[in-house]
Amino acid sequence: MSRDAPRVLAVAYGGGHIAMVLPVLRALRRRLPGLHVDLLALTTARRAAVDAGESPLGYADLLHLLPADQQARALELGRELQDGNAHPDIAAAETVAYLGINAVDLELQLGIDAAQARIAERGRHGFHPIHFFRRVIAALSPDLVIATNSPRSEQAAVDAAAEAGIPGLAILDLFGLPGDAFAARRRHPDRVCVLADVVRDNLVAAGWAHDRIAITGNPAFDVLHEPATRAAAGELRERLGWTGRKVVLLAAHPEPSSHPATHWPAGDALPLAMETALRDWVHARPGAALIVRHHPNHWHRYPRLPDDAQVHFSVPGEEPVDPLILAADCVVVQTTTVGLQAATVGIPVLSMQCSPGALGAFNLARLGIAQGVADVPDLPAALDTVLARRPAPTSWARPMRAAEAVAGEALELLAMAADARPRQPDATRSL
């Protein structure tokens, strides 16, 4: 490699995006001792990064990269935009820096009046801080930039790297379906890592080059392959007295909107009906058991009936979902990615075709991830069939850890970059 050791800049927002990046960084460090990583963990990603043992950067740490007049303007705009954009997990200084730097960048791109109109119309969703990330790339001088499919800062980091001749790798969390903003991009990273061949085909159909796409799986799902997660699943079954039972996991959520092709409305009606049907089903079958798991943001508003010998109500803040998936013989969903997670480890999934979300967004059955169930009255018979004879895993099953596969793609890009261009010593490394 060039110079002393290769350098990677990783940029990720919170939730599932930082969860994809952190395992890749661990895999890279194992395979490339001495690797230098700068992790820009954005907004709520910082807590997850710190909890994982990282020392992440934020916008506030990089404010000094702007000229003095732009720094002052960024602080002014950030304070103006702070109201309504605060979050308890994000320091006020970081919120101000993030909003202000992005707003200044938008003024540089569009002019003050047009930038203010964009912010008034779209808020932070209108950001694309390309000028700022040109400065970040110049200051940190990475050999590779790693991001996910998030827009705004992550997209700007990959774009700025491409302008500087630095390779970029993006990890796509889901499907790249027609209309997906990531699939529609016209500037592509050097490599994109995807879940399965279906996703690759979707991107190719959208104009992406086949040789830029690697099928790796989603590193955020790697925890399902961990021995500790498998052990926790076994301990759960044993604690509940369910050894030898057929266990069904219901992973449900409110429907965000209605759809003319179904009688189910937006809101809680469908998930509550699914729960009622499954409780009736399990109580008619002594050898079965049910885990009820509603969405982490909404579980508290559903009636919580007492647990019994066959039913366990899972509270998201008290139990991670991964051992519940591995404890199940079948998973029942509408459109949640819990269904995709289950399919990646070969667990059968049933998805409700009457779901407004399945009709209007993405349908797990049409994607080959799940078996479709027409409506709630059809659910008991579908479960009996699947549990009587477990179907073979779908093409979405991934026996290997995705983080290792993504790390392999990153190492290939690093090697190609080192061979393709000489690098000059850089004396301005520190922030």
Over residues 235-244, the pLDDT tens digits come to 999 999 999 9
Q: Is residue 114 part of a domain?
A: yes
Q: Which pLDDT tens digit goes with each residue over 348-385?
A: 999 999 999 999 888 999 999 999 999 999 999 999 99
88 and 180 both lie in a single domain: yes
> Going by DSSP bridges, is the β-strand pair 246-252/191-194 parallel, antiparallel, or unpaired?
unpaired
375 and 416 both lie in a single domain: no
Q: Which of 61, 64, 51 is nearest to 22 (CA)?
A: 51
Which range marks the domain in which residue 57 is found? 7-217+400-420
208 and 94 both lie in a single domain: yes
178 and 281 both lie in a single domain: no
Residue with tokens 């800049």: 9
Q: Is residue 428 part of a domain?
A: no
pLDDT band at 431 (very low <50, low <70, confident <90, very high): very low
198 and 240 both lie in a single domain: no
- Above pLDDT 70, what percent of the chain? 96
Q: Which pLDDT tens digit goes with each residue over 332-341?
A: 999 988 999 9
CATH code at 19? Answer: 3.40.50.2000
Question: What is the C-alpha to C-alpha distance for residues 350 and 204, in angstroms, rounded to an integer?
Answer: 28
Distances (CA, A) of 51 to 18, 95, 427: 12, 20, 32
Question: What is the C-alpha to C-alpha distance for residues 9 and 14, in angstroms, rounded to an integer?
Answer: 16
Question: What is the C-alpha to C-alpha distance for residues 163 and 161, in angstroms, rounded to an integer?
Answer: 5
pLDDT for residue 3: 53
User: Residue 168's beta-bridge partner residues?
Assistant: 145
pLDDT for residue 427: 42
Q: Assign 174 to helix, strand or coil.
A: coil
Average pLDDT over the chain, rounded to an integer: 90
Give the DSSP per-residue string, 294-356. Answer: E-TTTGGGS--PPPBTTEEEPPTTTS-HHHHHHH-SEEEESS-HHHHHHHHTT--EEEETT-H
Question: What is the C-alpha to C-alpha distance for residues 67 and 105, in angstroms, rounded to an integer?
Answer: 12
pLDDT for residue 430: 41
210 and 255 both lie in a single domain: no
* 419 pLDDT above the threshold of 80: no
Rounded mean pLDDT, 162-189:
90
The set of long-range contacts for 205-209, using a CB threshold of 8 Å and a minimum separation of 24, is 205/178, 206/176, 206/178, 206/180, 208/183
Q: Is residue 301 part of a domain?
A: yes
Indicate the DSSP class of residue 252.
E
197 and 231 both lie in a single domain: no
* 429 pLDDT above the threshold of 60: no
126 and 146 both lie in a single domain: yes
Q: Is residue 353 part of a domain?
A: yes
235 and 384 both lie in a single domain: yes
Instruction: Name every residue whose Cβ is closer than 8 Å to that of residue 418 and which is 6 or more positions away in sequence.
Output: 1, 2, 6, 143
The neighbour count for residue 314, using CB atoms within 10 Å, is 20
Question: What is the C-alpha to C-alpha distance for residues 270 and 255, in angstroms, rounded to an integer?
Answer: 8
291 and 375 both lie in a single domain: yes
Q: At what angle do helices 269-283 and 379-388 cross, to 10 degrees?
A: 50
Q: Is residue 393 part of a domain?
A: no
330 and 265 both lie in a single domain: yes
Indicate the DSSP class of residue 182.
T
pLDDT for residue 422: 57
Q: Is residue 431 part of a domain?
A: no
Question: What is the C-alpha to C-alpha distance for residues 255 and 266, in angstroms, rounded to an integer?
Answer: 5
Whole-prediction pTM: 0.81
Q: Is residue 177 part of a domain?
A: yes
Kindly tell me the sign of the dihedral angle through the C-alpha atoms of 11, 39, 143, 103.
positive
pLDDT for residue 119: 86
* 61 pLDDT above the threshold of 50: yes
* 426 pLDDT above the threshold of 70: no
191 and 283 both lie in a single domain: no
pLDDT band at 1 (very low <50, low <70, confident <90, very high): very low
Q: Is residue 2 part of a domain?
A: no
Kindly tell me the sign of the dihedral angle through the C-alpha atoms of 59, 65, 71, 74.
negative
Report the number of distinct structural domains present in the chain: 2
* 80 pLDDT above the threshold of 90: no
